[in-house]
Amino acid sequence: MEDQTWQEQASPAVHKRVQDSFDRQGLMAHLGARLAHIGHGRVHIGLPASPEVTQQHGYVHAGATSAIADTAGGYAVLTLFDKASEVLTVEYKINLLAPAAGDHLEAIGTVLKPGRTLTVCRLEVYGVQSDGARKLVANGQQTLIRVDRTPG
């Protein structure tokens, strides 16, 4: 997936499937996270900085940072599968590189190696200032498994 196909927008059907699934996630709604980009093998999630997602020093909590990274990777993978498939995280490793500060965070999940059963993603989280300045605050890698979609 290292080519530039991730810059392409997902088809309307894939976009709708990903958005509908994302809208069912209680945690993302609770955090205030939103899908910012749905591409082929790449998804961006934005999380506004707010008191509800900060830790005691005023930075966005590592749990919120990790959650949006994990979710971005999962949906990046889902863009590559048909509607009969879902994905679940098998494992992920995240490195917190700097305090998660900014007007909002942007998590980017990018498929590195798609597979029939297991897929590997790169995870990046940026702190974004109101003037557009960006700083990488976390990065990681994730493995996901394709599972058959359950009815309902």
Nearest C-alpha neighbor of 79 from the set 147, 18, 16: 18
The pLDDT assigned to 9 comes to 86
Instruction: Please state, in angstroms and rounded to a whole number, the distance separating the CA atoms of residues 38 and 18.
Output: 8
SS3 annotation, 90-103: EEEEEEECCCCCCC
The count of structural domains within the chain is 1
Length of the chain: 152
Q: Distance of CA 131 to CAs 104, 107, 127, Å?
A: 11, 18, 12
72 neighbors 141 (Cβ within 8 angstroms): no
Rounded to an integer, the average pLDDT of 44-59 is 96
Q: How confident is the model at residue 7 (pLDDT cuts 50, 70, 90)?
A: low
Tokens 């297991």: give the residue.
Answer: 118
**Residue 6 pLDDT more than 70?**
no
Domain that holds residue 129: 4-148
The pLDDT assigned to 91 comes to 98
Residue 150, helix vs strand vs coil: coil
**Residue 142 pLDDT more than 70?**
yes
Q: How confident is the model at residue 1 (pLDDT cuts 50, 70, 90)?
A: very low
Instruction: Please state, in angstroms and rounded to a whole number, the distance separating the CA atoms of residues 83 and 46.
Output: 25
Specify the CATH number for the domain of residue 39: 3.10.129.10
**Residue 5 pLDDT more than 70?**
no
Instruction: Please state, in angstroms and rounded to a whole number, the distance separating the CA atoms of residues 78 and 96.
Output: 25
pLDDT tens-digit series, residues 88-133: 999 999 999 999 999 999 999 999 999 999 999 999 999 999 999 9
> What is the pTM (predicted TM-score) of this model?
0.93
Both tokens assigned to 79: 């863009």
Nearest C-alpha neighbor of 45 from the set 56, 58, 32: 32
Residue 4, helix vs strand vs coil: helix
Residue 65, helix vs strand vs coil: helix
